[in-house]
């Protein structure tokens, strides 16, 4: 990969009764970010947690908090998650009508704006907002549940985004989320995203520090 690869374990795959230990594992592994999936039971089937959890975890680490809002009407929650300590706030193209305004608001709140798309959404629908974002998150599974198999065709979107970034001279990061594990590492390296979100594979690894080293 051309840039330093950032590893962002998803706290969603940690033991919910021991979230502090999950953060400790991320700290000790040498991973770079903490990915936090917020689900509302509407845009995706499950419900996870809200801004109170982000606020509770914030004092436990200085890692970047990469907060992924898989919710309907994310505009109503931006202020709460920014106040809770999010560094990146990522919303879905599929849930926001006035995406330009939403991304501007995230930056006004002092966070880095990100935009995400599900496997069925093409990169072409992001072209108008790419100048406004610091992160583009490509879902490589249909969001909602951990442990799914990667949809390899989604990696073509990573290649397309990297090409667009070079053409436009921009600096946003390209992230992938879903099915990132030892079995998919080869194809992931070839596509060369900047950020790898890993949930089940990270927290089930016997040696999480070794997992991070391998993926870097």
Name the residues annotated as catalytic.
Answer: 37, 177
Tell me the Ramachandran region of residue 178: left when phi exceeds 0, alpha when psi lies from -120 to 50, beta otherwise: left
**Residues shown for the chain:** 216
Strands (E), 46-198: 64-70, 88-92, 112-117, 135-139, 173-177, 195-198
Hey, what long-range contacts does 126-129 have (CB within 8 A, 24 or more apart)? 126/93, 127/164, 128/100, 129/93, 129/99, 129/100, 129/103
């Amino acid at each position: 990969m051309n840039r330093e690869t950032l590893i962002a374990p998803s706290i969603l795959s940690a033991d919910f009764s021991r979230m502090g230990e999950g953060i400790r594992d991320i700290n000790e592994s040498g991973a770079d970010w903490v990915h936090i999936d917020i689900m509302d039971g509407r845009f995706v089937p499950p419900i996870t947690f809200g801004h109170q959890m982000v606020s509770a975890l914030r004092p436990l680490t200085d890692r970047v908090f990469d907060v992924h809002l898989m919710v309907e009407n994310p505009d109503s929650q931006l202020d709460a998650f920014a106040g809770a300590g999010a560094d990146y706030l990522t919303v879905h193209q599929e849930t926001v009508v006035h995406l330009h305004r939403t991304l501007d608001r995230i930056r006004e709140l002092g966070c880095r704006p990100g935009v995400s798309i599900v496997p069925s959404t093409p990169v072409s629908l992001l072209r108008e907002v790419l100048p406004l974002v610091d992160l583009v998150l490509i879902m490589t599974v249909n969001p909602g549940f951990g442990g799914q198999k990667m949809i390899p065709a989604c990696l073509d979107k990573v290649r397309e985004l990297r090409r667009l970034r070079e053409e436009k001279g921009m600096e946003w990061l390209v992230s992938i989320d879903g099915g990132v594990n030892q079995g998919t590492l080869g194809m992931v390296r070839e596509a060369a995203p900047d950020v790898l979100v890993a949930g089940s594979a990270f927290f089930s690894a016997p040696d999480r520090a070794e997992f991070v080293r391998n993926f870097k």
